[in-house]
Amino acid sequence: MKKSTILSFFYLLAVSFAVANPQTEISNGNKAYQQGQFEEAIKIYEKIIEQGQTSAELYYNLGNAHFKANNIPSAILNYERALKLDPTNEDIIYNLKVSNNQIIDKIDELPKLFYQRWWDSLKQLLAPDAWAWLSIILFSLFFVTIAIFLLSSSAIVRRVLLPLGIAFLFSTCIVLIVAQNTYTHAKNKNEGIVFAPALTVKSSPEESGVDLFVVHEGLKVQIIDELTGWKEIRISNGSKGWVKAETIMPI
């Protein structure tokens, strides 16, 4: 009984180590990919993700494996997931563009107002984690500046530090807003990829609804509402309607 207990302990320890340290499995996936065993690489990467280990690099590798296996919708899905975590990564952006060029639907986006374009560009400057760290750094500088301001007896130093502290506080607030927005965007499931060769969009969440238009696999859509078994989607030109929930995979 004692021997069995010891063996069970070491088994659980080994399993916990494997889950907590997935680098070996990632290396195995990379090796399978390099050897042209793309389906095997996909299985390995997906197993790691199922264990709760996610990163932009992992989603990017999974997207590459799907692309090589000619699973374009799955490649786009994983590139989009990677891009949420690392919006400035040029490799992800490029591979996503190449994949989108292979889908049927080429839909023009509605023009955005200048402040929307500016806000989107600002959010894409850094990854969500980087925005969070920047807010911490700026708040620390604000705290240090105010501390020196309160302790200093020099009028000149206090005149310099006061506006500097206000600037650090204002910057911290702005960066916190951007960090919260980018984090929410990374966690939200309000965008998805079409996973049906040809999908008819309905006017209402029922089979008897009027056929509005057709979209095809690989297209990115916005999910704006959900009912049992149905999702209301909007495509980039503003058109919207209802589709079966299982045909849309959330990003």
pLDDT surpassing 70 at residue 38: yes
Q: What is the pLDDT of residue 2?
A: 47
Q: What is the pLDDT of residue 154?
A: 92
Q: pTM for this one? A: 0.79
Q: Could you tell me the sign of the dihedral formed by the alpha carbons of 214, 220, 222, 223, in that order?
A: positive
What CA–CA distances, in Å, run from 162 to 54, 89, 119, 134, 178?
Answer: 43, 38, 29, 21, 25
Question: How many residues belong to the chain?
Answer: 251
pLDDT surpassing 70 at residue 16: no
What topology does CATH give the domain 2-100?
A: 1.25.40
**Distance, CA of 64 to CA of 242 (rounded, Å):** 31
Q: What is the pLDDT of residues 46-99, one digit of tens each?
A: 999 999 899 999 999 999 999 999 999 999 999 999 999 999 999 999 999 999
Q: What is the mean pLDDT of the chain?
A: 90
**Distance, CA of 218 to CA of 77 (rounded, Å):** 8
Q: What is the pLDDT of residue 12?
A: 44
Superfamily assignment of 191-250 in CATH? Answer: SH3 Domains (2.30.30.40)
